[in-house]
Amino acid sequence: GDSVTQMEGPVTLSEEAFLTINCTYTATGYPSLFWYVQYPGEGLQLLLKATKADDKGSNKGFEATYRKETTSFHLEKGSVQVSDSAVYFCAPSSSGGSYIPTFGRGTSLIVHP
C-alpha cells in the first residue's frame, strides 16, 4: 500500500527563517499530492496540492513541487511567521479506484519571535 515519510519534528525556527519540511512517498500509479495543516485547537485544512509531475502548489507563502522522479513533495516557505506554528501533514492519494489519502505522521513546526 501507499506510505509517507515525513521529517520528524518538532521543527523549531525563529521568525523570518527559511522552512523546509521533507516528504517522500510510495504510491501506486500516479497520485495527487496534498499538504494539510492543523493549527492548535482546529481541524485539518488543505494547505496546497499538486496533481501532476512538476506542478507547484502554493498558498499563504508555502510552496511544494511534485517531483515524480524522486517521489518527493517537500514543503517550503521563505520566511516563516509565528502564526505558521502548526502541525503539517503530507498526504498522497492512491490512484486506483476511490480516493484514499495516506497521511504522514505530521511534522510539528514551532516558530518563536
Partner 1 sequence: EAGVAQSPRYKIIEKRQSVAFWCNPISGHATLYWYQQILGQGPKLLIQFQNNGVVDDSQLPKDRFSAERLKGVDSTLKIQPAKLEDSAVYLCASSFRSGGLQETQYFGPGTRLLVL
* Residues of this chain that bind partner 1 (CB under 8 A): 4, 31-32, 34, 36, 42-46, 49, 51, 89, 91, 93, 95, 98-106
Q: How many helices (H) and strands (E) does the chain have?
A: 0, 11
Least distance to partner 1, CB of residue 79, Å: 26
Helix runs in 1-113, H state only: none
Q: How far apart are CA 44 and CA 71, in angstroms?
A: 24
18/99 with CB nearer partner 1: 99
State the Cα–Cα distance between residues 63 and 28, nearest whole angstrom.
24
- Least distance to partner 1 from the beta carbon of 51, Å? 5
Question: Please, what is the minimum distance in Å from the beta carbon of residue 95 to partner 1?
Answer: 6
